[in-house]
Amino acid sequence: MNRIDLLEAAVAHSYNAIVITDANLEDDGPHIEYCNPAFCEMTGYALAELIGRSPRILQGPDTDPQVLARLRACLRSNTPFQGSAINYRKDGTPYHVEWNISPVRGADGVVTHFVSVQQDISTRLEAERDRRLLANALNVANDPILITDRAARIVFVNQAFERLTGYDAADALGQTPAILRSGEHDSGFYEGLWSALERGEGFRATFTNRRKNGELFHVEQSIAAVRDDQQRITHYVSIATDISEYVQRQRRLHELAHRDKLTGLLNRRAGEAELQLRYAEACVDGTVFALIIGDIDHFKQINDRHGHPVGDRVLVRTARLLSERFRRDDAVIRWGGEEFMVILPNTRIAVARQLADRIREGMRTLGDDDAGAVSMSLGVGQWQQDESIAGLIHRVDKALYSAKALGRDRVVVADGDDEDENRARADEV
């Protein structure tokens, strides 16, 4: 096969539509002298219907006149042209075509023909429109949407995501969702997430995340894998619902249910739950815990002589003192009326006695402008093996009553809690 035959075969079998016209721009020219089968298939015309005709037969009402004007200007100046417009097939259906037109010069340098390589880009434009429509739809969605690739790099965030997190698209793209991590979830939480996704399962959970400015927020988040035609995972899409207000409301309700309204300390219901927790821990792993029960001395007289507002003020100041004097893990409870309880985890009787003495001494400095000096009597006890919660409370209550009977403003250790014996046991451990 010689070069000319090879060239003709290549053009005839080209995927792109190719049409060659003469260079006559007068009248209705130029005129088609050659077109390949791909051009006939794209336009719906047979070869015989095209030869000698002007490509203008493909133009219609939606063909952009500005594009045509630019095309004619390029043809008249013998310069290459590139552009796209709407053309029409023989049956009248429109299609989007992309042109690349070049002048062909003879040996003398004079333009004799124009060769145009064309491609129907309708499908591509429709896909691009669909993508834009999808992106617009995602952007106007009220819920934050995040899409990552297989390696968890962020490839898309919508405007709701930007508003909620404070990260705009420029900040987020190329990053991983780890930029939102708050530190509120342990490693097991994220291990469970990735384990589910790698199994091809969706993952749904409540996330506590952190905004760009450092503030925490809460979302109910669903994450799912996106697969290609071969069922290979290509992306992950996450849709979240901001539940921060709901979480805050639930926390406030929890506080109301578990906090004493006047003092802000745990109420009796919450205290009983804390006792159950420490008791269960002690029964399972053998840890010890101690209990302090304190009662403000002569509190009824304060109320009777000075009124309940003064009594309430004394209660609030006592609660503040207790909160300041005990450790983070200790549970301080308003047990009832003027009676307070402190649960001391992992604490033996000797340390509990010292802490109770600190409270008693602190109460001496509390005072009140109306009520005057205020004191507290306290009972202290350590949980004993096989002892019930009720049994422990009973022993400490008895110690408290003994402190009052002995003149108040003192600490009494419960029966059965020998401080020296316990100290010796602690030293052995």
How far CA 172 is from CA of 111, 148, 157, 233, 236, in Å, comes to: 53, 10, 8, 21, 15
Active site residues: 338
Residue of 417, 386, 391, 381 whose CA lies nearest to 283 = 386
Q: Where are the domains of the chain?
A: 3-120, 126-247, 259-428
Q: CB burial class (10 A; 0-12, 13-18, 19+) of residue 126?
A: exposed
Q: Report yes or no: 350 and 423 within 8 Å, Cβ to Cβ.
A: yes
How far CA 390 is from CA of 187, 276, 290, 415, in Å, comes to: 39, 11, 14, 15
Residue 380: strand, helix, or coil: strand
Specify the pLDDT at position 29: 83
Q: Report yes or no: 141 and 237 within 8 Å, Cβ to Cβ.
A: no
CA 121 from chain centre, in angstroms, equals 39
Both tokens assigned to 71: 């095309």
Helix (H), strand (E) at residue 44:
none
Q: CB burial class (10 A; 0-12, 13-18, 19+) of residue 411?
A: buried
In one letter, which amino acid is 406? Answer: L
Both tokens assigned to 241: 């619902």
What is the rounded distance in angstroms from the CA atom of residue 28 to the CA atom of residue 212? Answer: 64
List the CATH code of the domain at 3-120.
3.30.450.20
Q: Helix 244-258 and helix 268-285: axis angle, to 10°?
A: 90
**Percent of the chain, pLDDT > 70?**
94
CATH superfamily of 126-247: PAS domain (3.30.450.20)
Both tokens assigned to 83: 């552009």
Select from 3.30.70.270, 3.90.700.10, 3.40.47.10, 3.60.9.10 the CATH code of 259-428: 3.30.70.270
In one letter, which amino acid is 352? Answer: A
Gyration radius of the chain's alpha carbons = 42
Stretches where the chain sits below pLDDT 70 are: 1-8, 10, 255-256, 418-429
Strands (E), 106-215: 111-120, 145-149, 154-157, 203-210
Instruction: Note whether 126-247 and 259-428 share their fold.
Output: no
pLDDT digits (tens, 9 = 90+) for 89-131: 999 999 999 999 999 998 898 999 999 999 999 888 888 888 8
The total number of residues written for the chain in this structure: 429
Helix and strand counts by DSSP (H, E) for the chain: 15, 15
Residue 70: strand, helix, or coil: helix
Q: Report yes or no: 344 and 352 within 8 Å, Cβ to Cβ.
A: yes
Q: Structure pTM?
A: 0.50
